[in-house]
Structure 1
Amino acid sequence: MRAAAQSPVAAHLRVVGALLRREMSTRYGRSAGGYAWAVAEPVGMVAMLALVFSAIAHHPPLGGSFITFFATGYIGFAFFRSTADSTAQAILANKPLLRFPNVNPYDAILARVILQALTNIAVAFIVLGGAFLLTEEPVRIDQPRIAAAFGAATLLAAGVGSCNAVLFVVAPIWQRVFGILTRPLFLISGVIFLPEDMPWSVQQALAWNPLIHVIAALRQGIYPVYLAQNAALVFPATLGLGLLLVGLLLLRRMRREVASP
């Protein structure tokens, strides 16, 4: 029993659990509004998009409800973006803790990925469920397809976030450059449009954006009539796995620079 309790795996699990509790306390537990804001932000964005586009168009690109259409798009995008952003800050936010010998950057990254993924699932359930009840949109809940879309988004975010977690520390200017380069993602990821409505040449270009596949697959799992042309989740999942491997290799190579004060 004693040997098992002191095994490396058990030690890492205890550290990850402790970091999870710390993250929950610092990010959401300081005030009652912490958890509410995680839901209020996507609700506000979806409401704003629905209000603006309903004023300039009679029908959404898919289905009969602007709220449901934008909710499916924004939740898919936010599932990736919030996890990638949170993971990218894992090392910077836990720098003081990395001085302890039993805490390493891998644990900090894993804790952030787990916490944000669980938060995203809860937010998606509340926002999408609320949209379905409010609009009475005829939907078909394909749970395996939705879970696969969320899984691919999380894996992609973990890969991007793990690379950035290292690069943000060793090359701080990259944080600004990355923010500028990814600013158009919201507009080109299919949140506010359907790729199938675009010319064929544009569709081919958009297919290189992994988030197009995530959001299309999510909508495919909700709308029974949607036949997505670009919903190959193997692309974002494979890309995310590759970037995760690169991020872990970077962390291993630059561990001393990352852990230094």
Structure 2
Amino acid sequence: MDENGPEVPRTSFAHSFAIQRRVIHALILREVITRFGRHNIGFLWLFVEPMIFTVGVTLIWSALKAVHGSSLTIAAFAVTGYSSVLVWRNMPSRLVDSIEPNLSLMYHRNVKIFDIFASRLLLEGVSVATSFLVLTIIFAAIGWLSLPEDPLKVVGGWLMLAWWGSALGMFVGALSHRSELVDKFWHPMQYLLFPLSGSAWLVDSLPPEFREWVLLLPMVHGVECVRDGFFGSEFVAHYDLGYMATINLVLTLLGLVEIRRAGRNLVPA
């Protein structure tokens, strides 16, 4: 027995979790340096990139006086829509074909495919969430939008979108190790899903017969929930987080199964 208390067994869950936490932290630092380097503003690009995209879309829509089927301001519509898109679009894109370039790391006993995926997912999730929060505060301060009516709904919808992006990313990322065709198909697929994701329109503005079809897409429910939390009193929201959670859970399990299969067939470089 140690003088500070009982020693934690090296095979315990707490010990294993501590090791994995340090591994993921190291991989995050490595990813930040690899992607952004140490020059200019460095890791701040992690937050600036999604902000530039969202602000750019907002300015273009405002200049063109775009119509989006509601009385909501362009800024409010763009921030809630395009920031939400970045969650589920960026996460899978960072994981597709990410195993091969990191094969040398697999020589380390404690580094697994899941750790590489988790580090990239955390980076993307934190960057987009920070961008979303900062833009909301700035736009609210200059009067472009109002603060959320129900912050809990905003957080809930955002977490569901992050879960969807993570589950989709793990599945597509692990599957891309099996076939390079996944990488070829994913990029055009994300562009096809973009106009159907609910970022540029409200479900309530669609014809009833088409509304049923778009609600089959899980990300639409997340976007509607985020907007319901922001300005639910100004439109009729259509979403079912229970349905989205079910799809997310199934896809998460499929992703974990595919990660395990990829790990068994892995040959370190």
1:78 aligned residue (86, 94, 101): 86
Counterpart Cα distance in 2 of 1:137 and 1:229: 18
* Counterpart contact for 2:23–2:110, Cα < 8 Å: yes
- Structure 1 window deviating more from structure 2 (108-117 vs 71-80): it is 108-117
Q: Deviations over 1:203-237 (max 9, x none)?
A: 11110111111111111111142444422222333
CA distance in 2, matches of 1:259, 1:122: 37
Aligned residue number for residue 169 of structure 1: 177
- 1:95 and 2:108 correspond: no
Alignment counterpart, residue 212 of structure 1, candidates 205, 220, 233: 220
Farther off after superposition, 53-62 or 130-139: 53-62
- State whether structure 2 residue 152 is matched by structure 1 residue 144: yes
Cα deviation, residue 29, structure 1: 4.5
The one-letter code sitting in structure 1 at the alignment partner of 2:210 is V
Q: C-alpha deviations, 1:120-149, integer Å up to 9, x for none?
A: 221111122222223343343422111111
User: Is it true that 1:27 corresponds to 2:35 in the alignment?
Assistant: yes
Task: Tell me whether 107-116 or 46-55 shows the greater mean CA deviation.
Answer: 46-55
- CA distance change for structure 1 residues 235 and 92 in 2, over 3 Å: closer, same or farther? farther
* Amino acid of the structure 2 residue aligned with 1:215: V
Aligned equivalents of 2:25 and 2:136: distance in 1? 29
1:35-74 to 2 correspondences below 5 Å: 35-57=43-65, 61-74=69-82
Deviation at 1:115, TM superposition (A): 2.3
| 1:185 equivalenced with 2:154 (yes/no) | no
Q: What is the DSSP-based 3-state SS (H/G/I as helix, E as strand, rest coil) of the residue aligned with 1:191?
A: coil
Q: Is 1:157 aligned with 2:165?
A: yes
Give structure 1 stretches of 5+ with no counterpart.
none
Q: 1:230 corresponds to which residue?
A: 238
Question: Deviation string for 1:129-174 (max 9, x for gaps)?
Answer: 2222233433434221111111111111111111122121220111
Task: Name the SS for the 2:231 alignment partner.
Answer: coil
Q: Tell me the equivalent position of 1:244.
A: 252
How far apart, in 2, do the equivalents of 1:118 and 1:185 lie?
23
> What residue identity is the alignment partner of 1:186?
F
Whether the aligned pair in 2 keeps the contact of 1:216 and 1:228 (CA below 8 Å) is no
Does structure 1 conserve the Cα–Cα contact (< 8 Å) formed by 2:28 and 2:120?
A: yes
The alpha-carbon deviation at position 96 of structure 1 amounts to 1.4
Unaligned 5+ runs, structure 2: 1-5
TM-score, with normalisation over the residues of structure 2?
Answer: 0.85
Rounded to whole Å, the distance in 2 between the matches of 1:245 and 1:58 is 40
Q: Distance in 1 between matches of 2:42 and 2:123?
A: 14
Q: In 1, are the aligned partners of 2:204 and 2:236 still within 8 Å (CA)? A: yes
Aligned residue for 1:110?
118
Aligned pair in 2 of structure 1 residues 29, 228: CA closer, same or farther (>3 Å)?
farther
Q: Is the 8 A contact 1:16 1:107 kept in 2?
A: yes
Say which SS state the counterpart of residue 111 (structure 2) adopts: coil
Cα distance change of structure 1 residues 42 and 62 upon mapping to structure 2, 3 Å threshold: farther
- CA shift in 2, pair 1:37/1:102, >3 Å: closer
- Number of equivalenced pairs: 261
Contact 2:48 2:131 in 1 (8 A): no
Question: Which deviates further from its counterpart, 233-242 or 48-57?
Answer: 48-57
Q: Secondary structure at the residue paired with 2:117?
A: helix
SS in 2 for 1:254: helix
Distance in 2, Cα, partners of 1:76 & 1:169: 27
State how far apart, in whole Å, the 2-side matches of 1:17 and 1:47 are: 30
Between 4-13 and 104-113, the greater mean CA deviation after superposition: 4-13
Counterpart Cα distance in 2 of 1:254 and 1:120: 28
Instruction: Give the share of equivalent positions with the same residue, in percent.
Output: 21
Number of the residue aligned with 2:3:
none
